[in-house]
Structure 1
Amino acid sequence: MTTDAPAHPLSGLTVLDLTQIYNGPYATFLMALAGAEVIKIEPLTGENLRSRGDLGGVAYPFAMLNSNKKPVTLNLKTEQGKALLREMVARADILIENFAPGVMDRLGVGAEALQKINPRLIYGSSSGYGMDGPYRDYPAMDLVMQAMCGVINSTGFPDGPPVKSGAALCDFFAGIHLFSAIMVALYDREHTGVARRVEVSMQDATYCSLGSNYGMLHARGDEAPERTGNRHGGLGVAPYNAYAAKDGYVVVNAPSDRHWAAISEVIGRPELAEDPRLRTRTDRVVNHELVDQLLGDWMKDQTRDAAAERMLARTIPCAPVRNLSEVMNDRNMLARGSLQVMDHPELGRINVPHTPLNFVGLPRIPLEPHKPLGACNDDIFGTWLGHSAEELAQMKKDNVI
């Protein structure tokens, strides 16, 4: 399929996107905004996130992840629906799905069957625990995976219950790794001619994110606290915490002695840089409660933004703890174009993200609002695959599309 967009890295590639919710759709979103033609294949009722309703505000995340895709509907429980998928596969470069392991095989359109039709097809899949192993058939959503991967147990304060992450970490970690695996497979195909199947589990993709916590467990065994609140996950850096200002919180992370010397000056206590209890990072970790008391006593008399600005002026790693409204209107992201204002036909004027992958020297592909369910049926099944208007009408009558 062709596009009028500038020649971006994935221009000319056709991606069949059978994914849903966050994991797979994020991977294909990155591909669409790198120039690929992404055909979003949904069941007749729409993919799960589109059809959840709006009580939880799911319209925005659906819009966020499905810009610049061509949506079609396809009933893969019908023989003609499977036949249409096979027709698309014959012309595509990549197919991606994040169904439970075995679903596509049971439908007769799994990786082995589809790669026989098109030996150059890269087949990517993602699931909670992977396509083999004893957990293979366990159901998986982000909350479940956070529990299984240790995210929940390591989040919260030592004297409180475990708490889930506010971010859907496991979904998006898996989506990023799925994108990466497919890019590696594309590189491999260009050099060897072999189109591989790649798969990413949410469990595998999340493991390394808790590296500091694993390090503390390895070093301290049963004495390692399960949760460290806002302190460093491995209790290896101080100061490293969220400190209460008059109107909010500021996080400070000072990994070096140079940073501590600068903090000492900012808070008006330059002598602390040479205090034998605080001179080195190890000293400060041992006396982290004193460190937190010193910063806390200073911070409580400051406003959030003023305190952060004073520290940033000395290149001390810190930031105000911002609310989501501030994040969704971030001036840095808006200035860079990584967050853009969109006039959406359903949601009105909204700020939505562009891809984090910035190809220097290439203009960003303009963001297009997500299209209604099945909006590209005639374009894909008619113009691209060559089916007549009469055939399409019959397919609709037969609940194929």
Structure 2
Amino acid sequence: MSKQHYPLDGITVIDLSHVYNGPYATFLMAMAGANVIKVEPFQGEHLRSRGDMGGAALPFAMLNSNKKPVTLNLKTEKGRELLRELVQRADILVENFAPGVMDRLGLGADELHKINPRLVYGSSSGYGKDGPYRDYPAMDLVMQAMCGVIDSTGFADQPPVKSGAALCDFMAGIHLYGAIMTALYERERTGIGRTVEVSMQDATYASLASNLGMLHARGDKAPARTGNRHGGLGISPYNVYPTTDGYVVLNCPGDHHFHSVLDVLGRPDLKDDPRFVSRSARVENFEAVDELLESWTRTQSRNEVARLMLEKKVPCAPVRGLAEVMQDENMHARGSLQRIQHPELGEVVVPHSPLVFEGSTRLEIEPSLPLGASNDEVYGTWLGHTPEELQVLKTEGVIS
């Protein structure tokens, strides 16, 4: 069998990032074949060090498969010099420190490009490096508030609610991956790397398109929150409906979808009802639409509703709990979710990359490793430092 090839074979990434957005970008690189060296302080990156509080061990394992973890004390000059050695051989560096941190360490993009002009330097922060909010601290919850996610989530007559998902972090991570890959493509043509940056605020804005569209159309009359209805109140039916054993969601973007719904409900006589004859009419009469659907869904199980609707090609799904989603047969069949034996966590379900490269089988998932597990491999075998030199670095508090 011929050797498998992956898009980022031969690319080395220095990953200084922590928690979600940077580590997700570098996870995508690792699963595309890149050699990702995860550089952490002695106490571990922030997500790893949350593990003792419960709930963080699995997220760390999810985002750090196929990476080589090393420890490095960047507060020492020898630690900074060791990072420069890594950068000399690297293609990409990723960090998501607050703006200015790397410059204060003498490791900013300009300085590192003097060492390696081919380096693609990727940076992510909450608000970006050059706006008036530059120095504001930012985490996903804060960004959800600033971006309008919280204000647009929930029901109009109730307080706003944060998204259950860490939307802003992962939006930024996906965009950061895209920016770095774009710069890497440019470098292959020009031979020169560049700095790219992504702010969480910038990356999240476009996801509110439906809500922004309603604001543009209705101005002050636009409701801030629409519950489970369409964010732009432009589609009906579009809602969460109760069943005998839970809930389903249903979305009818076109008239033919709604005609199929009426067939499932056994009410084809309503196809010419003026309240339902067009999408605009259904939006104006959304309460009647929802009442019609709900009177039927309440008599059915969620899976039966989904089965009948999907047979008619109506977008519909049961509202599933996370335990169900973790066992999703489609994602496991595709290999995008996999069960692995983790040396610290036992059997766990972790994601593979959503990016599928046809012609190459998915890389085997290598479980996330303990803090500093790759020190000898990276600093010794790869950089060429002798065991004696490594011992001195450990004694001097440069590596742990």
Q: Give the TM-score normalised by the residue count of structure 2.
A: 0.98
Say whether residues 1:171 and 2:169 are aligned partners.
yes
RMSD of aligned Cα (Å): 0.9
Deviation at 1:55, TM superposition (A): 3.1
Instruction: Answer whether contact 2:247 2:318 (CA < 8 A) is retained.
Output: yes
Say whether residues 1:74 and 2:69 are aligned partners.
no
Instruction: Answer whether contact 2:338 2:351 (CA < 8 A) is retained.
Output: yes
Report the counterpart of residue 42 of structure 2 in structure 1: 44
Report the counterpart of residue 342 of structure 2 in structure 1: 344
Q: Which among 159, 162, 168 is matched to residue 161 of structure 1? A: 159
CA distance in 1: counterparts of 2:130 and 2:29, whole angstroms = 27
**Matching residue's letter, 1:113:** E
Report the counterpart of residue 325 of structure 2 in structure 1: 327
- Report the 3-state secondary structure (helix = DSSP H, G, I; strand = E; otherwise coil) of the residue aligned with 1:390: helix
Deviation at 1:28, TM superposition (A): 0.1
Say whether residues 1:202 and 2:211 are aligned partners.
no
Deviation at 1:142, TM superposition (A): 0.2
Q: How do 1:5-154 residues align onto structure 2 when only pairs under 5 Å count?
A: 6-154=4-152
CA distance in 1: counterparts of 2:184 and 2:42, whole angstroms = 31
CA distance in 2: counterparts of 1:250 and 1:54, whole angstroms = 37
CA distance in 2: counterparts of 1:254 and 1:173, whole angstroms = 27
Deviation at 1:292, TM superposition (A): 0.4
- Report the 3-state secondary structure (helix = DSSP H, G, I; strand = E; otherwise coil) of the residue aligned with 2:196: strand
- Report the 3-state secondary structure (helix = DSSP H, G, I; strand = E; otherwise coil) of the residue aligned with 2:51: coil
Deviation at 1:5, TM superposition (A): 7.3
Deviation at 1:254, TM superposition (A): 0.2
- Report the 3-state secondary structure (helix = DSSP H, G, I; strand = E; otherwise coil) of the residue aligned with 2:47: coil
CA distance in 1: counterparts of 2:175 and 2:381, whole angstroms = 33
Residues 239-294 of structure 1 show CA distances to partners (whole Å, capped at 9, x for unaligned) of 00000001100000000000000000101111121111110000000000000000
Q: How do 1:259-278 residues align onto structure 2 when only pairs under 5 Å count?
A: 259-278=257-276
**Matching residue's letter, 2:321:** N
**% identical aligned pairs:** 68
Deviation at 1:6, TM superposition (A): 2.5
Residues 342-351 or 8-17, more deviating: 342-351
Q: Which among 299, 306, 309 is matched to residue 308 of structure 1? A: 306
CA distance in 1: counterparts of 2:361 and 2:52, whole angstroms = 34
**Matching residue's letter, 2:90:** A
CA distance in 1: counterparts of 2:263 and 2:395, whole angstroms = 75
**Matching residue's letter, 1:374:** G
Deviation at 1:398, TM superposition (A): 1.1
CA distance in 1: counterparts of 2:157 and 2:285, whole angstroms = 20
| Structure 1: 4+ residue segments shifted above 3 A | none
**Matching residue's letter, 2:147:** C
Residues 133-169 of structure 1 show CA distances to partners (whole Å, capped at 9, x for unaligned) of 1000000000000000000000000111000000000
CA distance in 1: counterparts of 2:54 and 2:199, whole angstroms = 26
- Report the 3-state secondary structure (helix = DSSP H, G, I; strand = E; otherwise coil) of the residue aligned with 1:50: helix
CA distance in 1: counterparts of 2:16 and 2:75, whole angstroms = 14
Instruction: Answer whether contact 2:119 2:192 (CA < 8 A) is retained.
Output: no
Q: Give the TM-score normalised by the residue count of structure 1.
A: 0.98
CA distance in 2: counterparts of 1:7 and 1:336, whole angstroms = 19
Deviation at 1:53, TM superposition (A): 2.7
CA distance in 2: counterparts of 1:400 and 1:208, whole angstroms = 43
CA distance in 2: counterparts of 1:292 and 1:277, whole angstroms = 12
Instruction: Answer whether contact 1:5 1:365 (CA < 8 A) is retained.
Output: no
Report the counterpart of residue 217 of structure 1 in structure 2: 215
CA distance in 1: counterparts of 2:54 and 2:163, whole angstroms = 17
**Matching residue's letter, 2:70:** V
Report the counterpart of residue 397 of structure 2 in structure 1: 399
**Matching residue's letter, 2:72:** L
**Matching residue's letter, 2:235:** V
CA distance in 2: counterparts of 1:9 and 1:141, whole angstroms = 32
Report the counterpart of residue 389 of structure 1 in structure 2: 387
CA distance in 1: counterparts of 2:342 and 2:8, whole angstroms = 26
CA distance in 1: counterparts of 2:76 and 2:136, whole angstroms = 27
Report the counterpart of residue 359 of structure 1 in structure 2: 357
CA distance in 2: counterparts of 1:300 and 1:55, whole angstroms = 41
**Matching residue's letter, 1:318:** C
CA distance in 1: counterparts of 2:106 and 2:189, whole angstroms = 30
Identify if the C-alpha distance between structure 1 residues 106 and 342 changes in structure 2 by more than 3 Å, giving closer, same or farther. Answer: same
Residues 283-324 of structure 1 show CA distances to partners (whole Å, capped at 9, x for unaligned) of 000000000000010000000111111000100001000000
**Matching residue's letter, 1:351:** V
Instruction: Answer whether contact 2:120 2:180 (CA < 8 A) is retained.
Output: yes
Instruction: Answer whether contact 1:125 1:199 (CA < 8 A) is retained.
Output: yes
- Report the 3-state secondary structure (helix = DSSP H, G, I; strand = E; otherwise coil) of the residue aligned with 2:84: helix
- Mind listing any 5+ residue stretches in structure 1 that lack a counterpart? none
**Matching residue's letter, 2:288:** L
Instruction: Answer whether contact 1:5 1:35 (CA < 8 A) is retained.
Output: no
Say whether residues 1:252 and 2:250 are aligned partners.
yes
**Matching residue's letter, 2:283:** V
Deviation at 1:193, TM superposition (A): 2.1
- Report the 3-state secondary structure (helix = DSSP H, G, I; strand = E; otherwise coil) of the residue aligned with 1:198: strand
CA distance in 2: counterparts of 1:342 and 1:145, whole angstroms = 33
- Report the 3-state secondary structure (helix = DSSP H, G, I; strand = E; otherwise coil) of the residue aligned with 1:90: helix
Deviation at 1:388, TM superposition (A): 1.0
